């Protein structure tokens, strides 16, 4: 685990929380906790799948989007399609940010 990994985790949690909050407009603290829980689970595993197992990026991103949508569905107890769209938007934004800012 490096400072870069922690930065990636922190920024992902922050960005996904913002997406959840902007869309849902419910208790920010609760949404932040959900973002922490979800990303603390998915980011290290996705990182492992990419860097150690060398799995395809699209496959990993797809699995992450589906996993997070299911976790959001569990935690938020909203309609699944909404959770899926939330997950899709949040992960698209974080992926784009990582492409822009991570070192080449």
Partner 1 sequence: MISYDLYMVEHKYRYCDHMRLKPTFIVYGLVFLLVLGTVASVSADILMPGQKSTSFSYEITNMDQYPDFVFLLFGGPLGNVQLLQSGQSFTFYKFAQPSVYAILESKYNASILQMNDTEQQLFFENNPDLVPSALVLTAVYTTVPEESPLKSSKVILTIAALNSSHFDLQKTKIIFTYTDGSTEEQAFASPDVLPSPSRSTLGLSWANSLWYIVLPGMAVCGIVYVAVKRRQKP
Q: Which of 14, 45, 55, 63 binds partner 1 (CB under 8 A)?
A: 45
Does 47 sit near partner 1 (CB under 8 A)? yes
CB of 52 to partner 1, least distance (A): 8
Task: Candidates 13, 51, 53, 55: give the one binding partner 1 (CB under 8 A).
Answer: 51
- What distance in Å separates the CA atoms of residue 86 and residue 16, rounded to the nearest whole number? 9
Rounded to the nearest whole angstrom, what is the least distance from the CB of residue 50 to partner 1 in the complex? 6
Among 13, 15, 17, 19, binds partner 1 (CB under 8 A): 19
Which of 8, 13, 15, 64 lies at the binding interface for partner 1 (CB under 8 A)?
8
| Number of separate helices (H) and strands (E) present in the chain | 4, 0
CB contact at 8 A, 87 and 72: yes
- Nearest distance in Å: CB 32, partner 1: 13
Residue that has been written with the tokens 């899926």 in this structure: 84
Q: How far is CA 93 from the centre of its chain?
A: 9
Site of tokens 């699944």: 80
């Amino acid at each position: 685990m490096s400072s870069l990994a922690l930065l990636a985790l922190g920024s992902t949690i922050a960005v996904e929380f913002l997406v959840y909050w902007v869309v849902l407009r419910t208790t920010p603290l609760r949404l932040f906790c959900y973002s922490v829980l979800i990303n603390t689970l998915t980011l290290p595993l996705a990182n492992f799948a990419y860097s150690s197992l060398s799995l395809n990026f699209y496959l990993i991103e797809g699995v992450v989007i589906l996993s997070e949508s299911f976790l959001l569905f569990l935690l938020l107890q909203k309609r699944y399609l909404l959770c899926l769209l939330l997950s899709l938007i949040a992960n698209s934004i974080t992926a784009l940010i990582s492409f822009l800012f991570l070192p080449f």
